[in-house]
A and B are shown apart, each in its own frame.
Chain A
Amino acid sequence: MASISAKILMALSGLFLMGFLLVHLLGNLQIYAGPEVFNAYPETLRHYPVLLWTARVLLILAFTLHILTSIYLSTKNKAARPVAYAQKHSVQASLASRTMLLGGLVILGFLLFHLAHLTWRWVFPEYAALDLYTLTVLSFQNSLVAAFYVLAQVFLALHLSHGFSSAAQTLSLTRWCATTFRFAGYAFALAITLGYVSIPVSIWLGLVHA
């Protein structure tokens, strides 16, 4: 497969996942509306099994495609420079652009923990039978769990801040104005991160309680 074809697949799957992050955030922010509204959200989704499973399958496909293309391209990229420089300085490459692979691995680790925590309910077996709102609130009262979620969102912010404009460049949308997409990427990453971080922080500070 041509390297640009793999990059296009990575960009498209990345943009799909960004769309999911936005929809997921909008769902999560309902926690501020109280337990009735928040608990009703997953229940409503279960009333539409075809829609739910279509979304799940598409998500799994997008994640798989994103990971497989990253492995394919990273392996080729590593092989392209077998002898490293003794001294190498970056002139303008951002931290985010240089840590996409590391960020991706951290996000993957976080995703597995997040599923084990709130979907499969393995992390706190004593809360497993509780409703989602109570489980979420009791979990984030634990400082370690809240801190881990916040830290993971910082990595997500870095990944998105470069990933957005990088996807736009790969899909050739930046032919006219690269700066617009760069700043749109920063804005998107900031908005998504602040939204997600606000939930564990609000619970940990006692602003949202069971």
Chain B
Amino acid sequence: MSLLNLKLRVWRQKNGTSKGAFVNYDAPNISPDMSFLEMLDVVNEKLITQNQEPIAFESDCREGICGACSMVINGIPHGKERGTTACQLHMRHFKNGETIVIEPWRARAFPLIKDLVVDRTAFDRIQQAGGFVSVNTGSAPDAHAILVHKDNAEKAFDAAACIGCGACVAACKNASAMLFVGSKISQLAHLPQGDPERKRRAKAMVMQMDAEGFGSCTNTLECEAVCPKEISTRVIAELNWEFMRS
């Protein structure tokens, strides 16, 4: 496959208080084997040699498991490939000559820090409100001491796949965080270890979610379509159930 010549339209904003705008860049000779972030690295290297400010974006693992690379690519969080983070999105999915529009997550609860970087600590505060289990200190218990039914283990594991990237919030027309909160609730609700805090967990996490300024779910199912871990909206039904029980 031949090299790609692309045009980028990137949201640039110095900080949370300044006014942002789209800036156009050329991205010539891009290998189709590059990841999306590698393509941005190439563009940034050129900007640095031209004494220009590189495009700020988050990345860490670059293997689809940390959830840092938050950006909306051509109107879809993490781009149009399903079940993929931006760092695992490869340039072979783009056409030569294509213009790619790149924007940050847009949500009141995710204030913009710079360019494509947003502050997602609202998720941390929701977790701190109830997304934990109390454990006794001391030696580790035997692995088979507490039995977990396979169905419950599977459901808990599916929900635990959430990497907290925030794509669900970015995609939702209401900037709702219910897929994220549902994942954290569901993960613990299916395990005996989650039982002691069960009654107060859902209420505390939902109250924190509301206090952070996230919207509410209108069940458009857009969140599960963009979730890089393909978490089902079943976890939202489970969140609602846990909230009603609390």
Contacts and interface: CB of A to CB of B under 8 A. Distances in A.
Contact of B75 (A3, A77, A88, A162): A88
Q: Give the secondary structure class of B's interface.
A: mixed
A6 B220 CA distance: 17
Contacts of B244: 8, 172
A204 to B, nearest CB: 35
B156 to A, nearest CB: 14
B109 A80 contact: yes
B82 to A, nearest CB: 8
A148 to B, nearest CB: 27
Contacts of B239: 4
A78 to B, nearest CB: 8
Contact of B236 (A6, A100, A169): A169
A73 interface: yes
Interface stretch (A16-24, A89-97, A109-117, A189-197): A89-97
B126 to A, nearest CB: 13
Interface stretch (B46-54, B132-140, B158-166, B170-178): B170-178
Interface residues of A, number: 40
Interface string B221-246: 11001100000111011111101100
Q: Give the secondary structure class of A's interface.
A: helix
Contacts, number: 127
A46 interface: no
A4 B216 contact: yes
A87 B102 CA distance: 9
Interface string A67-90: 000000100111111111111111
Nearest to B238: A175
A172 B240 contact: yes
A48 to B, nearest CB: 35
Contact of B237 (A85, A88, A92, A174): A174
A94 B215 contact: no
Interface of B: 11, 22, 72, 74-76, 80, 82, 101, 103, 106-109, 171, 173-176, 203, 206-207, 209-210, 213-222, 225-226, 232-234, 236-241, 243-244
Interface of A: 2-4, 6-8, 73, 76-94, 97-98, 100, 162, 165-166, 169-175, 178
